[in-house]
Structure 1
Amino acid sequence: MASAPPLLANGFRATLAGESVAFAEVTGLTFEREQSTYKHGLSEWEGETLQTYRSTKHQRLTLKRGVFAQDSRFFTWLTSDDAEARPLDVALVDATGTPVLVWRIRRAIPVKLTGPSLNASSSEVAVQTLDVMASGITVERP
């Protein structure tokens, strides 16, 4: 049986509107439900309280060490004054570039961009860290 291609230590690909950018590290990929407790008048049948869980909790997602072209959709989205929430996919890729796991984010809004040391010999935009507020995170195997 053939073994699967190895996973890269820095193999993450973020995709926004069909355009992909590679990042070396991603943190904050958390799926968490918000808990709400309600007291009600049906305690004889249901108990004194009801627990409900919503998946609308926003998570801070950090993408580190990425490079993309200056005329990319990512750059436009990050630098616009009124950046709107957009769907964003973050994939863990193997050595061949094939996604192994994909985190689909329904709503992502860029909130902080930190650049590295600047280099005049390159026309690409490098990102040290990109912080995104994300909600509606699901995990899929392609």
Structure 2
Amino acid sequence: MALGKVTISDDYPIPVYSYRVTIDGSQTMSFSEVSGLEIDYDYVDYRHGLGFLMGINLIRGQAKPVKVNLKRGVTKHREYLTTWLDKGDKRDVLIELCDEDGTGMVSWQVSRALPFKLDAPAFNADSNSVAIESMELVAHGLTIKHQK
């Protein structure tokens, strides 16, 4: 039996090439790559008095900071990231994975992100590749939301 369009769009994975990045709720920017969207916790080995019989008990510790890396092509008159790095204030970043219509299907809300590193592109006279700059952020939290 053939699958309908609705079944296919609901059950198949969303391609990663269509996404949108919004900084501080107002500045939507284009990036060639976004990485580091992970939730990670420390773990603690807990050994109690009967540990020799029952073994080690692992418990979850504190959440690690979120480290997000944003990459984009260098163009004229786009100094938003440099200004943000100079100010050093914390801002929220929203990354939305979009469907073919541009509707956000899954979103990652990075809360209170602080820029701490801005890398200039590598310059090479033998290459004709695009100049890509990279900014690294450290954030307090990450929330993932799925559209229903």
TM class by shorter chain equals 0.5 to 0.7
Alpha-carbon shift at residue 91 of structure 1 (Å): 1.4
Alpha-carbon shift at residue 2 of structure 1 (Å): 4.2
Letter aligned with residue 58 of structure 1: P
C-alpha distance in 1 between matches for 2:64 and 2:55: 25
Deviates more, 1:9-18 or 1:21-30: 9-18
Aligned to 1:105: 110
- 1:37 is the counterpart of 2:42: no
Give TM-score scaled by structure 1 length: 0.65
Aligned length: 128
How do 1:68-83 and structure 2 match up within 5 A?
A: 70=78, 72=80, 74-80=81-87, 83=88
Structure with the greater alpha carbon radius of gyration: 2
TM-align CA RMSD: 3.5
Q: Structure 1: state its 5+ residue gaps.
A: 118-125
State, as a whole percentage, how many aligned pairs show the same letter: 29
Alpha-carbon shift at residue 52 of structure 1 (Å): 2.6
Q: Structure 2: state its 5+ residue gaps.
A: 123-130
C-alpha distance in 2 between matches for 1:22 and 1:107: 20
Give the 4+ runs in structure 1 shifted more than 6 A. Answer: none
Query: Which has more strand, going by share of residues?
Result: 1
Query: Which has more helix, going by share of residues?
Result: 2
The 1:85/1:127 distance shift into structure 2, 3 A limit, reads farther
- 1:63 is the counterpart of 2:70: yes
